[in-house]
Structure formats: structure tokens, C-alpha cells
Amino acid sequence: MSSDLIDKSYEPHEVEKKWYAYWEEQKLFSADETSKNNHFSIVIPPPNVTGVLHMGHALNNTMQDILCRYRRLKGDNVLWMPGTDHAGIATQNVVERKLASQGMDRQQLGREKFIEAVWEWRAESGSAIINQLKRLGASCDWDRERFTMDEGLSLAVRKVFVQLYKEGLIYRGDYIINWCPRCRTALSDLEVDHEEQEGLLYHIQYPFPGSTKGLIVATTRPETMLGDTAVAVNPDDERYFNLPGQEIVLPLTQRTIPIIQDRYVEMSFGTGALKVTPAHDPNDFEIGMRHQLESIKVIGDDGKMTIEAGSQFEGLDRFVCREAVVAMLKEQGLLVRIEKHDHSVGQCYRCKTVVEPNLSKQWFVKTKPLAKKAIEAVEDGRTRIIPESWAKTYFDWMYNIKDWCISRQIWWGHQIPAWTCQKCNQLMVEMDDPAVCDSCGSKELVRETDVLDTWFSSALWPFSTMGWPDQTPLLKTFYPTSVLITGFDILFFWVARMMMMGIHFMDEVPFKDVYVHALVRDEHGKKMSKSKGNVIDPLEVIDKYGTDAFRFTLAAFAAMGRDIKLSESRVEGYRHFINKLWNAVRFSLMHITENPGAFNEKRISLADKWILSKVGQLTISVTESLDNYRFNDAAASLYRFVWHEFCDWYLEAIKPVLYGKKGEEEKAATIAVLWSVLKDTIVLLHPFIPFVTEEIWDKMPGTHGSIMKAEFPGGDKPLFQDPEAVSTMEMITGIITGIRNIRGEMNISPSKLLTASVQTDDGKKQEQIRTHQEMICSLAKLEVLNLSRTGDRPKSAATSLVEGMVVFVSLEGVIDFSKEEERLVKETGKIEQELSTVQKKLGNKGFMDKAPEDVVQKVQDQNNQLQEKLQKIKINLEKIQELQRS
């Protein structure tokens, strides 16, 4: 076979396209919902339909794909459930922007038409991210792709809502919630991003009635004073003992408000007097509840002041109003002072608008009872969180969980199945739309317009995607799922809530393991963001370096519990690896022209046994690593094996055999081993780099069908292991490396053939060296390799010590001896240093008495070896010095 059958370098683009289409066509990603085989299931963290693939998705899905492909090779029945999330607010924003560009808004369009427009939009561009996942090689069972707004999933949402309502775990009420004035909707606590900002603390005088004196309160938001309904002081505060029960004048208004006592007030902050605005501050709301204070809403849902704020402020934007209030207070001499004050400001996680705490009627999930069971599940290990440190974070949040505001005042989402009777105000929550009021029989029913938080439907994902509420075969086979792979940023948003819902509705945890991976950052460790301009687009990386190189990079850097700093140059490095592999295959396939069949264990060479043992160890290491989510360990073993064992040693060692220098029989045996090793290696690599391995598989003689159907190395048979061959090979490679050291350090040209000898009295080693002297000669570029006994030594030679043997490289006509002297002096220094630490241990009575025997023995052996080594090197040093003198 000539090399023109395989290109000199690997070109990913066509290969990737070809094989992905093939896999899909052959239905190789399909799960069998009835199979009794060991099953393995993952539900994808559904990306937003609005989304484009970013680095986080790439990492997350690469890991899932590695596990799924690995388990398929192991023979498991694998379900990787794909789908997307309707992303209520985000999607609505996108479509609204589109409308705006056409000079329209959703109000003009009306609810129904607007929702139609969203569906249209989804039909156009909603599959973008799915196609991007495919480019990543994701082996999801696409025929089962789900969407949170699908009919089936919507039914699940409704069922869950109705049941929770009937169980008293969902309620409606007037509470203070986070309000985004731009999105015009309520947000849950999690949907508010807090950011530390420089702000101002305004000290304002509230006068006593008919007095110029008064109390000074401090606030960062002066505009809210218009809605104050009390001033609170701490009951222990001696300064204000006589005040409670009195009233105080609220400036800029006609109102007087009471002075109350509440332990919430921090005496040390400001003046110890707190203005209370129950309608616009969560704490003040609590205080208001305790003291039955009136709530006055002065900021409207649009972020502008209401009529309650007073006619001079009505209609002003809340921040404009702040300036106006401050100016007016100043005018009236009531602004005592302004201090700089850093505080955290809540922003809408979708649009960054400053969130307004606002009183309104919303729907909530009572989370405590649900959280309790979700905590227990992790405590007793039904669900493992990996790495374990995240369990603590999970517990902290779960223990301090607050009720979850689930209603959103947008249109895109699952409309809440609640109806209010216009006659008697009866509230009905039902599976089937009610026609008449179940209390008064009126037909005047009005449906709740709010929709549910997107995360409400995501919380059902592990079972809603499998057909729940129907008891489908899919659900029976694959729930609970084997593992959830996710970033820590949605641990609360999503994982915690899936736990609560899964346990409540399925009576079983949604996943056995939760593997929490890190975030992908830029090369300086900064979060990638569009505004910083440091975003690396995964698709560009794929275009430039190929999917496999990219995936391998992600796997290699995916150490547990640490962020991944990614830069293009790293991907480039792993492209080299893919190319190295490609070329190793190219070389191998020049010699493997047909299926060589099984090798005969009795006929194979040392190098063969060694590489077979190594591939066996590799198999164990990859298996263990993947079973424990140690993707980086698996990637590292594969990298080291392919490059530094298979290419650097094995292929080099068998070249003379392949070139026919050892006869046809040995050549055939070696080719059989080469084929077998290559096959196993490619299969082990496949989960990480699916495309290039499929391409190689296709080109290899003796393979059939897709590599996805291949058998994992070993199968049921024990893996090949030959420890003796491994240690012999290590000795041989040690000798070769010793000779290469000398060559390299003394700048002897690689093309110059040398003469060397190995000095040992060990008969077995002599025998082995003799047997493998051709390999040594070829790899160390020797003309002659001699064996000698102690005492024999060449006249002028450089020396190297290997496993108690002395390797001499003849320097006749090659060298200046001062260089060799330098080498040996340096070497002596190293050995002496090692020796001193070893001897310190041996001289330590405590160590000798208390250390375990095997450790002591090991140190003693080291000591002996080092002593011997030192002695030998000293002899050679003397010789060299003699030679120089003569």
C-alpha cells in the first residue's frame, strides 16, 4: 500500500461531515427502550433555543459524549436525551427586539399572534444550537429530541402545577418580589445578579410635627421615601427610648408616619433610625407585616413613579425622581449629608436593568418540604455529587431555601392553569379547562395571564422528556438517569430543583450521580463575555483545528474542581496530537495490507509483548478514569501511550522487522500485533476523538461497520499482561537512552555510528542484551554492541549507568574528554545529593524503628544502588582524567 491512500496530514472537515451523517443515518445513537442490557442514561442540560453554542456547552457536551460513547463501546444500552429549553424571558426579548425593528410591539400584536410569532421564530432559528451540537460530535438520540414547550412536556408541567397546588405546595399571594421594569416581569431570587457598586448614602432629616428637630434616617434610595409608612428604631436603643408611639413628618408629602420599634434595626448603622418602605424593600416588607403597616407603591411596574408618589413626581423615572427628591430635600434644608457608600445592587440576569423590589400578586412554590427530601437523598448517597465539595454548597442553599416565585408576567411560556370567577372570586386550578365556576356556577371565568418560570419546566426535564405522566417503557428503562453533567452555575437554578421535583413526582432521585464541572475561562482566567470581547467561539475553533483536537483539549484540561483556562494555542497543541496519531496510522497501514488475524503469543517479540502489556494497562487506566469522571487523567494516559510509547518506542523498534530484516515469519507476527494494538488504541480513543478514529477504523483492514459497534479492548477476556517483558524492555530502552544521552550531551552527530559495550556480570541480563542487541543497535545508532565483564573497559569511552550496568560508548576519534569529564562530575554531584537524603533517613533511628518494613527496605535498596552507581562513576571519572593527562 502506498501512502497516497492516506493523506500526509489529517484534514478534519470532510471527514467530520461524512461520519456524522453516517452515524445518524445508521441510527447509531438510538437507545433501545425495551432492552434488558445494562442501561446508561443522561439527559442533556437543555440549551436555550435562542442560544448559540459557547464554550460552556462545548465542555459540558463533550464530557457527556465521551461518557455515552464509552458506555456504548462497553456494550451498555445508552440513552442520551437531547432537547432545548424555551427560555421564556430570553426568547421573548429576542422576538420583541425583532418586532421593534419592524416598528411593532407585542401589545399591538396581541398575545396569540405574538406567541405564533415566537413559534415561527423558533422554527426558523431554533435548531441552530442543535446543529452546532452535532458539529461537536454529540451522539444524542436525536429522534427523541424534546422541547420544554412541546405538548407532552406542557402536559407534565400542568400536571405538576395542579398537583402541587392541590397539595398546598403552590400558593398565590401578595408579596414583595424582584421586578424587572424593563422585562416587566417578576423574577425569582436566583434570577437577580448582585453587583457591588459605588453608591451614595443620603442622610435625611424627618422632622417631628411642628418642630425643626427630628430624626435622621439614612438611605441609598431617597426616592423610596415617598412610600415610607414608618420609621423604625431598635427597642434597645437608649437614644430613642421615648420616641415610639410618636409620629413624625414625612418630608415632601402631607403625611405623618409612626415611629415603631423593631429588632431588625441595626443600632450601629447610620443614626440607628430606619425608614420603612414596605412596598419597595424586602426587609421593610417584613417589618410592615409585623407591624401591620400600610404598603404604598410609589414605583410602578414600568419603573416610573406612580400617583402615590405625589403629583410633582408622578411619571418620573425612578432614577430621575431620586435626583428630584434630593434636590427638593436640599432646598428644604432636610438633606443632612451625603456619604459614599458601596453596596450591592441587584440586576436582572437577562437584561442587566436594576431590579426593583416590588409588591405584587404572584405564585410561589413552598419549597421547604420539597427541599427536605432532596437534602436527604444526597445525605444518604442516593445521589452523589461529584466533586464532593459541591455537596456542601448544595446543602447550604437547600437548608436556607426560600419560596420560589414561579409566575412571570410575560407571554412566552406555560400559561398558569388557574381561573378566577368574576362573580364570586373563586380560584380554580385544574387539569381540564373549567367551563363554569365550581362554587357559584358562573361562566364568567378569567384565566390567569401569567406564565411559569422557565426553570419550572426544566425542573421536570429528567422525567418529562421520557413521557411522564405516562408510565412509558422509556421511563421504566432509563429513569433514574445514571449521571447529570452540568456546570456549577446552574446547581441551584436547575439541579436542586430537579432533585426536588424528581423525588416528589417519581419517588426516586432523578440521577445517581451529579458531576459538576468547571467553567471555561479565557487564558487569563477571566470569565468569557461578549462585553469583555474575550469570547472564543467554539465553532471557529472547530473550523480551524477540527472537532477532535478541540474535544481532546477540553478533556485534557477538564481536571476536577478547577476552571479551565482556554486559549487557541492549546487547541493547536492537541491538533499536533491528532496529526501524530494520523501519521502513526498512516505508517502502520503501509504495512498492514490485510486483516492479519490473531497473533500467536508464542511467536511474538519482546517489543510486541511490551506494547501489548502497555495497551492492557492503558485500557485499565482509561476505564478507571472514566468511571470516576477523571477525564483529564484518561486523556493524559491516552496521549502518553500514543505518543511516547506507541510512536516513540514501539514503531521505532519494529521498523527493522517491518522492513523484512528479520524474516517473513517474524514480520507477520509483528504485523498482527501492530494491527491488534492499533485497533484497541483507536477504540480507546474513540470516545474522545470520534471522527478521526472512525476514519481510521474505516481505513483499517479487517474492521467492519462503525467503530461505534466495536468491542472495547479485552471484552470478557483478560487483558494481555507480561510483566517480565515489560521489565526487560525497560532495561533495553534504558540502555538505549543512556547511549543517546551521551550522544546528545557530547554533540555527537546522530548520523555517526558508534561502538558501545555493556558491562555486567549478570548472566541473565547478558543473555537478554544479546538477544535484543539488534534493537539496541538500531535505536541507539550503533555499529557494534559488545558485552563485557567487570574489569573490562574500553580505552577511551564515555559512560552511563543503567540498572547497575555500565554502558560504555567508545569515544575514539569522536570527542574531547573534558566534555565527558564535565558530564561525569555533574552526574556524581547528582548521585551524591540523592545519596545524602537517603542516608539521612537510614541514619534516623526513628525512621528505622517506626517506618513500615517495606519502606525501609526500599530506602536500603536505593542506598545500595546509589553507592554502587557512585563507585562505578568515580572509577570512570578517574579513567577519563587519566586519559586527559596522557
Partner RNA sequence: GGGCGGGUAGCUCAGUUGGGAGAGCAUCGGCCUUACAAGCCGAGGGUCACAGGUUCAAGCCCUGUUCCGCCUACCA
Residues 727-746 that bind RNA (CB under 7 A): 737, 740-741, 743-745
Q: Which is nearer to RNA, 31 or 692 (CB)?
A: 692
Cα–Cα separations (whole angstroms), residue 558 to 23, 47, 486, 543? 27, 21, 13, 22
Name residues contacting RNA, limited to 130-149 (CB under 7 A).
none
Q: Does 352 bind RNA (CB under 7 A)?
A: no
Compute the half-sphere exposure of residue 598: CA atoms within 13 Å on the CB side of its CA: 3
The single-letter DSSP state of residue 8 is S
Q: Does 865 bind RNA (CB under 7 A)?
A: yes
Name residues contacting RNA, limited to 482-521 (CB under 7 A).
489, 492
Which region among 34-42, 57-65, 469-477, 585-593 touches RNA (by CB under 7 A)? 585-593
Q: Which is nearer to RNA, 597 or 701 (CB)?
A: 701
Q: Does 344 bind RNA (CB under 7 A)?
A: yes
> Which grid coordinates are listed for 138?
454529540
Selected binder of RNA within 197, 256, 593, 844 (CB under 7 A): 844
User: Cβ of residue 412: shortest distance to RNA, in angstroms?
Assistant: 24
Q: Does 804 bind RNA (CB under 7 A)?
A: no
Name residues contacting RNA, limited to 615-634 (CB under 7 A).
628, 630, 632-633
Q: Which is nearer to RNA, 342 or 438 (CB)?
A: 342
Selected binder of RNA within 235, 441, 473, 561 (CB under 7 A): 561
User: Cβ of residue 218: shortest distance to RNA, in angstroms?
Assistant: 5
Number of residues interacting with RNA: please give it, by CB under 7 A.
98
> Binding pattern to RNA, positions 67-86, x when CB under 7 A?
--------------------
Q: Does 841 bind RNA (CB under 7 A)?
A: yes
The whole-angstrom separation of Cα 553 and Cα 542 is 11
* CA 82 remoteness from chain centre: 18
Q: Does 343 bind RNA (CB under 7 A)?
A: yes
The single-letter DSSP state of residue 225 is G
Q: Does 819 bind RNA (CB under 7 A)?
A: no
Cβ–Cβ < 8 Å for 408, 184: no
CB atoms within 10 A of CB 521: 16
Q: Which SS3 state, helix, strand or coil, does residue 756 take?
A: strand
Place of cell 457598586: 197
Selected binder of RNA within 35, 389, 439, 727 (CB under 7 A): 389
User: Cβ of residue 274: shortest distance to RNA, in angstroms?
Assistant: 4
Q: Does 851 bind RNA (CB under 7 A)?
A: yes
The single-letter DSSP state of residue 6 is S
Supply the angle between the helices 773-780 and 763-771 in degrees, to the nearest 10. Answer: 60
> Which grid coordinates are listed for 362?
404572584
User: Cβ of residue 32: shortest distance to RNA, in angstroms?
Assistant: 33
Handedness of CA 64, 66, 70, 72 (dihedral sign): positive
Which region among 158-166, 404-412, 523-531, 755-763 touches RNA (by CB under 7 A)? 523-531
> Binding pattern to RNA, positions 180-219, x when CB under 7 A?
---------xx---x-x----x----------------xx
Q: Which is nearer to RNA, 86 or 275 (CB)?
A: 275
Name residues contacting RNA, limited to 13-52 (CB under 7 A).
none
Q: Does 611 bind RNA (CB under 7 A)?
A: no
Q: Which of 791, 702, 798 is nearest to 744 (CA)?
A: 798
Alpha helices in 518-565 (DSSP H): 538-545, 547-557
CB atoms within 10 A of CB 97: 9
Q: Which is nearer to RNA, 273 or 880 (CB)?
A: 273
Which region among 475-483, 563-571, 697-705, 812-820 touches RNA (by CB under 7 A)? 563-571
Which region among 44-52, 276-284, 405-413, 692-700 touches RNA (by CB under 7 A)? 276-284
Alpha helices in 705-816 (DSSP H): 723-745, 763-771, 773-780
Selected binder of RNA within 270, 315, 714, 734 (CB under 7 A): 270
Q: Which is nearer to RNA, 290 or 527 (CB)?
A: 527
Selected binder of RNA within 307, 327, 440, 855 (CB under 7 A): 855
User: Cβ of residue 736: shortest distance to RNA, in angstroms?
Assistant: 7
Cβ–Cβ < 8 Å for 259, 233: yes
> Binding pattern to RNA, positions 524-543, x when CB under 7 A?
xx-x----------------
Q: Does 843 bind RNA (CB under 7 A)?
A: no
Which region among 82-90, 103-111, 336-344, 698-706 touches RNA (by CB under 7 A)? 336-344
The whole-angstrom separation of Cα 877 and Cα 872 is 9
Name residues contacting RNA, limited to 392-421 (CB under 7 A).
392-393, 396-397
The single-letter DSSP state of residue 188 is -
Q: Does 818 bind RNA (CB under 7 A)?
A: no
The whole-angstrom separation of Cα 409 and Cα 135 is 36
Q: Does 111 bind RNA (CB under 7 A)?
A: no
Alpha helices in 380-464 (DSSP H): 389-399, 454-458, 461-464
Which region among 113-121, 274-282, 411-419, 505-513 touches RNA (by CB under 7 A)? 274-282
Q: Which of 257, 265, 258, 261 is nearest to 281 (CA)?
A: 265
Selected binder of RNA within 22, 208, 587, 817 (CB under 7 A): 587
Supply the angle between the helices 128-135 and 12-25 in degrees, to the nearest 10. Answer: 110
Supply the angle between the helices 151-166 and 497-506 in degrees, to the nearest 10. Answer: 80
Q: Does 573 bind RNA (CB under 7 A)?
A: yes
User: Cβ of residue 220: shortest distance to RNA, in angstroms?
Assistant: 5
The whole-angstrom separation of Cα 670 and Cα 615 is 15
Q: Does 423 bind RNA (CB under 7 A)?
A: no
Cβ–Cβ < 8 Å for 362, 230: no
Name residues contacting RNA, limited to 641-660 (CB under 7 A).
643-644, 647-648, 651-652, 655
User: Cβ of residue 797: shortest distance to RNA, in angstroms?
Assistant: 17
Cβ–Cβ < 8 Å for 423, 393: no
Handedness of CA 722, 723, 727, 730 (dihedral sign): positive
> Which grid coordinates are listed for 573?
497543541
Q: Which is nearer to RNA, 448 or 513 (CB)?
A: 513
Helix (H) or strand (E) holding 390: helix 389-399
Task: Give 763: exposed, middle or buried? Use CB within 10 Å, 0-12, 13-18, 19+.
Answer: exposed
Question: Taking every pair of C-alpha atoms in the chain, what is the biggest distance, in angstroms?
Answer: 122
Q: Does 220 bind RNA (CB under 7 A)?
A: yes
Q: Sheet containing 404-405: give its strands across.
A: 185-187, 170-180, 356-365, 404-405
Q: Does 264 bind RNA (CB under 7 A)?
A: yes
